[in-house]
Structure 1
Amino acid sequence: MPRQSKVELYAAIPRDARAGVTGRALQAKYGVGWRTVQAATESVWPATRKQYPKRASKLDPFKSFIDEVLQDDLRAPRKQRHTVKRLYARLIDEHGMDEISYQTVRDYVAERKPQIKTEVGRGPAEVFIRQTHRPGEEAEVDFGDVTIRLRGELVVVCLFALRMSFSGKAVHRCFLSAGQEAFFEGHAHAFSVLGGVPTINVRYDNLRAAVSRVLGFARLREESDRWTAFRSHYDLEAFYCQPGIGGAHEKGGVEGQIGWFRRNHFVPIPEVESIDELNEMIDAWDLSDEQRRIGARPRTIGELFAVEKPLLKPLPEETFETGRWFTPRVDKFSQITVRTNRYSVPVRLIGRQVRVLLHANHLIVFDGRTEVARHERLPAKAGTRLDLDHYLEGLLRKPGALPGATALEQARSAGKFTPVHDSWWSAARRAHGERDGTRALIEVLLLHRHLPHEHVVAGLAAALQAGALTADAVALEARKIGESSPAETPVVDLDGPGTVSSLTQRRLASLPPDRRPLPSVTAYDQLLRRTSTTKGSSA
């Protein structure tokens, strides 16, 4: 029979007893003892469980001394108050405490310390006051860490989140850095998605990207100059929370939102080829999350956001440059150093000063006003990112440096230097020697600046198949492929020895053989004989 509560049992036993069921039968039917049967027939309510006195603790004789010390500490200088370790030592030395662990004393102090502060009026019990937010007025911002698999490698990236307090609508963005440029780009993206700016304020903790210094115990902050300019551009008001755990409670909405977003969308760990691909996935997740309800709310996030979106302040007409400018000098390795990381630039710029626009996920290098390089930003410190194309002019003069070049290894890892390149290079070195064969490969790599990558790779495969091991032959094949129709574009097996297949060749191979006779050239042979006879007679 199903399990019954004690009240139901005390109602069933008297009912069966009045029907004439014996005591032993009641015990067997309900699986209880005779005392329970007797108690149930005497009262409809079960007797309350007897409260036994709390078991004595070995710490009881010392609790009064501990309480006295904690009370005295409230009047002592802040840096000269008892730690649990010091209190434990005094209990042993001055009061002969024995066979009591440090953990027992620490647990009692952790329990009594806030109670004593409340008893003497020095600290009220912590209470959380529920807040009501009006549409379009407030938002909260914070950063969190998430782990992704970027091109097969585990990388920790920064997750920016801006959450509207009324609707719960949140906009997220992942960055390879949590610097000021990521802070600004996250805001710009969020305001663009929301279509406006909160009318009252946005809540922040004391992020270094915005706050240079906390002034005293009030909510006064010394802001960075660029953050002040950014706020002025968007007409944005900032509300700074208290430092520490107390400040986290003041923007608990976004704190919980980051945890929820991480658990629901980053488990299992996403695998992406670029940070831009990840952000496209995040945009889709943000859109789908509008269909969910928060807690017991009767409406979805999307329905509530539709109410507050018209109430937001309009966006400014002009955009704000979120990146930061740097002017490094190119070293002898044709590299620049930006935020402890090194990036390559063309070798012709060695010794010159260039301008770098640093964004959260990438950086752009300018020579004057001309863009000369673009790199994905490195997430760690003291890293190096090299582009093989930047070193080709230098390698033409030093071809022996190519086999061990770091830029070549990075190109292989990125898939830009394919197995077809390696096969053609090996064949060229066997045919022309190490130096000339490597120079021929470098001339082929220069073709990538003017021709699509897939056309050059297909041209390499076609030239390798034909035994044409010169850069001119590869260029000719690549241009022929580019001029052909899309249906005739060759398909290259990048893992094979360099074979090319064509849809046109496949169609011709499938046609039946042509059995028509070949055209005759007999008439032309007679003309040749007549010409020879005429020449002989004249002689």
Structure 2
Amino acid sequence: MPGRHVTDHQMRLFMKLRQDHPIEVAAAKAGMSRATGYRISKDPKLPSQKAQTRGRRRPDPLEHIFDAEVVPLLQSAPGLRPVAIFEEMLRRHPELSPGIRRTLERRIRAWRAVHGEDQEVIFRQVHEPGRLGLSDFTDLGAMAVTIAGQPLEHLLYHFRLPWSGFEHAHVILGGESFVALAEGLQNALWSVGGAPASHRSDSLSAAFRNLDADARTDLTTRYDALCAHYRMTPTRNNKGVAHENGSIESAHGHLKSAIRDALLMRGSADFGDLDSYRAFIDEIVGRRNAARGKRIAAERPYLQGLPERRSTDFEEVIVTVSSTGGFTLRKVFYTVPSRLIGHRLRVRLFDDRLDVFTGGTRLLTLPRGRAKANGKHDQVVNYHHVIHSLRRKPMALLHLVYRDKLFPRQEYRHAFEALIDRLPERQACKITVELLALAHERSCERALAAELAKVLEAGGLPDLAVLRRHFAPDPACLPAVTVQSVSLDSYEALVITADAAGVPA
């Protein structure tokens, strides 16, 4: 065919066909032209026997600089990128064409193949059922997930059994920590119904950050105790060597791709609450595990049995409630009922919540807060805890440190801003506090917020009297309770009847 070289196979076929066919027919059957057939008939050498090494068609643009300048750079700085060398050569030799970049990169690659340094070799491992479990954290910030319109900063704890491919994922609101690892790992083990012989983590590199030597030792001890509780041998990959956890690092990408696809098919990355988002993640992981159901079932008999109860997956801290109606823990101020002022409380610190105890009695659960990225303190405030005291001191609202966190919904904050713009400060604070008190006493926080939004949208200001009547109990809906007095004679008649029947008193 025109434009294509004749191969040895074609020529052998042509010469065989030539014995029984004319040149034209033999050439056509061998896939070549008639002219080529006549030429081959005169010169029966195979193409491979006539091939000659082709010389350069143009001068080598790197002839005078590669050995003299590029090679010394490669020898002195083995990690230097080819693009950096290319830019340096252009700076030294402005007459060079930018079109030499690919030529230079190929030449550098060929030089390194012969003279370069040895590279690290990755040794693939044979996985045995029930031998190893892997844990790691991965960032989901690129998913742009929001909860009720607010961005959710979170990580994903990821556990995997490499032999069967069983996976478990748990949404983590804070950073990498022992609490997050302990909670996610135990959820995974109880989900699969057993524990592997050993467990490998990523050394909790983020959890160790900014800890002193004693704190690091304590964290390591707690991790070892957690593994001992499930009879697992604790192992850690070297810091910064991701491929040592390769069986889960690669799975991160597949899981995140599945989550991204599910969000696109869902049409929105916004969820009504955190529980809905966690259920969404659980459903995705559940579908992936269902596809590996037979292999997971085959690995379960090789897993160790679980202990009778879970180990601790929280930190326990003792705090004292101050006169401000709360306590500060990890740079976050939490409000509690004022009756606890002066009491020492035992707080169990989970990844997403705090359980507060006095003695052995569990008092309440608080959402966990975290200090701001710049290191400043934050607050977790429940207006129900302080509203009774704030009603006696409404002006305290004006410059309250946690004023913005006091408002349970944005409508209350907008109402305060509208009031403070159009009324005296004392009156604005008084009305705002009474609005919060109304929401507290009548349990109408959501409905009251909706009414405030309507009033503000119409350009008006909240009218306390109108709102109190609106959210007051409807007299028509109150049941009519009539208590009738019972005559004591009926009891005497009952006693006489019992005596007549012979019933002992």
TM-score class, shorter-chain normalisation, is: 0.5 to 0.7
Report the counterpart of residue 314 of structure 2 in structure 1.
323
Report the counterpart of residue 447 of structure 1 in structure 2.
441
> CA shift at 1:241, angstroms?
2.3
Report the counterpart of residue 487 of structure 1 in structure 2.
none
Q: State the distance in 2 between where 1:5 and 1:346 align.
A: 90
| CA deviation profile, 1:103-139 (whole Å, cap 9, x unmatched) | 9999988876786576xxxx5x544433221211112
Q: State the distance in 2 between where 1:405 and 1:141 align.
A: 43
Between the aligned residues of both structures, percent identity stands at 20
Q: State the distance in 1 between where 2:379 and 2:41 align.
A: 82
2:369 to 372, 377, 394: 377
Report the CA distance shift for 1:438/1:305 in structure 2 as closer, same or farther (over 3 A). closer
Q: Residue 129 of structure 1: SS of its match in structure 2?
A: coil
1:164 to 151, 161, 168: 161
Q: State the distance in 2 between where 1:114 and 1:328 align.
A: 63
1:10, 1:46 within 8 Å by CA — same for their partners in 2? no
Q: State the distance in 2 between where 1:439 and 1:358 align.
A: 31
Report the CA distance shift for 1:287/1:107 in structure 2 as closer, same or farther (over 3 A). same
Letter of the aligned partner of 1:159 in structure 2? L
Structure 2 length as normaliser, TM-score? 0.64
> CA shift at 1:332, angstroms?
5.9
2:301 to 303, 310, 314: 310
Report the counterpart of residue 517 of structure 1 in structure 2.
none
2:254 to 248, 251, 260: 260
2:129, 2:299 within 8 Å by CA — same for their partners in 1? yes
| CA deviation profile, 1:216-238 (whole Å, cap 9, x unmatched) | xxxxx997221122112111112
2:134, 2:159 within 8 Å by CA — same for their partners in 1? yes
1:195 to 193, 209, 226: 193
The residue correspondences of 1:32-51 to structure 2 (distance < 5 A) are: none
The residue correspondences of 1:416-495 to structure 2 (distance < 5 A) are: 437-438=431-432, 440-447=434-441, 451=443, 469=466, 474-477=471-474, 480=477
1:343 to 328, 334, 342: 334
1:62 to 52, 68, 73: 68
Report the CA distance shift for 1:478/1:237 in structure 2 as closer, same or farther (over 3 A). farther
Report the counterpart of residue 284 of structure 2 in structure 1.
285
| CA deviation profile, 1:158-188 (whole Å, cap 9, x unmatched) | 1111111111111111101221110111101
Report the counterpart of residue 129 of structure 1 in structure 2.
123
The residue correspondences of 1:116-265 to structure 2 (distance < 5 A) are: 116=115, 123=118, 126-147=120-141, 148-151=144-147, 152-177=149-174, 178-199=176-197, 201-208=198-205, 224-245=220-241, 248-265=242-259
> CA shift at 1:313, angstroms?
0.7
Report the counterpart of residue 532 of structure 1 in structure 2.
none
> CA shift at 1:140, angstroms?
1.6
1:144, 1:160 within 8 Å by CA — same for their partners in 2? yes
1:355 to 346, 349, 366: 346
- Unaligned ranges ≥5, structure 1: 74-80, 214-220, 293-300, 485-539
2:394 to 370, 378, 399: 399
Letter of the aligned partner of 1:174 in structure 2? V
**What RMSD over aligned residues (CA atoms) do the two structures have, in Å?**
5.5
> CA shift at 1:343, angstroms?
3.1
Report the counterpart of residue 78 of structure 1 in structure 2.
none
Q: State the distance in 2 between where 1:414 and 1:154 align.
A: 16
Q: Residue 145 of structure 2: SS of its match in structure 1?
A: strand
> CA shift at 1:345, angstroms?
3.0
- Unaligned ranges ≥5, structure 2: 211-216, 454-462, 481-505
Letter of the aligned partner of 1:164 in structure 2? L
> CA shift at 1:348, angstroms?
4.8
Q: State the distance in 1 between where 2:42 and 2:354 align.
A: 85
Report the CA distance shift for 1:38/1:166 in structure 2 as closer, same or farther (over 3 A). farther
Report the counterpart of residue 390 of structure 1 in structure 2.
385
Q: State the distance in 1 between where 2:398 and 2:363 align.
A: 29
Letter of the aligned partner of 1:377 in structure 2? G
Report the CA distance shift for 1:332/1:65 in structure 2 as closer, same or farther (over 3 A). same
Report the counterpart of residue 522 of structure 1 in structure 2.
none
Report the CA distance shift for 1:165/1:53 in structure 2 as closer, same or farther (over 3 A). farther
Report the CA distance shift for 1:454/1:108 in structure 2 as closer, same or farther (over 3 A). same
Report the CA distance shift for 1:224/1:127 in structure 2 as closer, same or farther (over 3 A). closer
Q: State the distance in 1 between where 2:208 and 2:200 align.
A: 13
Report the CA distance shift for 1:243/1:61 in structure 2 as closer, same or farther (over 3 A). same
| CA deviation profile, 1:486-532 (whole Å, cap 9, x unmatched) | xxxxxxxxxxxxxxxxxxxxxxxxxxxxxxxxxxxxxxxxxxxxxxx
Q: State the distance in 2 between where 1:225 and 1:359 align.
A: 18
Q: State the distance in 1 between where 2:152 and 2:37 align.
A: 64
> CA shift at 1:327, angstroms?
3.0
Report the CA distance shift for 1:52/1:341 in structure 2 as closer, same or farther (over 3 A). farther
Structure 1 length as normaliser, TM-score? 0.61
Report the CA distance shift for 1:327/1:131 in structure 2 as closer, same or farther (over 3 A). same
Q: State the distance in 1 between where 2:369 and 2:178 align.
A: 14
Q: State the distance in 2 between where 1:169 and 1:5 align.
A: 54
Q: Residue 316 of structure 1: SS of its match in structure 2?
A: coil
